Amino acid sequence: MVMDMKEQTRLFEMAQAAAVNAYAPYSKFKVGAAIKSNTDKFYSGCNVENISYPVGTCAEAGAIAAMICGGDKKISEILIFADSKELITPCGACRQRIAEFGDNDTLIHLATKNGIQKSYKIAELLPSGFAEF
Ligand code: THU
């Protein structure tokens, strides 16, 4: 089910608040993500970097971890927020993470401080993704 305005605002505000708490001393690039699950619960996460650079985790990974910890398994919508001029899209690994817990209808919203700028479905961001073996 598509979000109403109140839910959309909540998702945006959660992602924006998560970005404030991001730990990004190396890149100085703070990202927040917020998820609405298929059970209408909301979760958020931020990027958490590490002095050993590859150990850092993306905001999307944090939000997904919070969702799993909260007992949900399906992403209905995910919003990714960065206070940047250029719109950012999830990295390859996070596209795979979103695919794991999304379906054909899952929406990925990309937002700056001016709000949602673009929305995608996972098949657009991860065509021919690894889904079965
Ligand atoms: N980052 C995210 O958290 N999500 C994205 O979608 C893109 C990049 C983080 C990873 C790293 O901490 C910083 O942004 C710079 O790449």
Q: What does the alpha-carbon distance between residue 1 and residue 92 come to, in Å, rounded to a whole number?
A: 26
Is 91 near ligand 1, meaning CB less than 6 Å away? Answer: yes
pLDDT score at 78: 98
pLDDT score at 131: 84
What residues pair up with 31 in beta bridges, in sequence order?
82
pLDDT score at 1: 58
pLDDT score at 23: 98
pLDDT score at 2: 66
**Parts of the chain with a pLDDT under 50:** none
What pTM does this model have? 0.96
pLDDT score at 42: 98
Is 102 near ligand 1, meaning CB less than 6 Å away? Answer: no
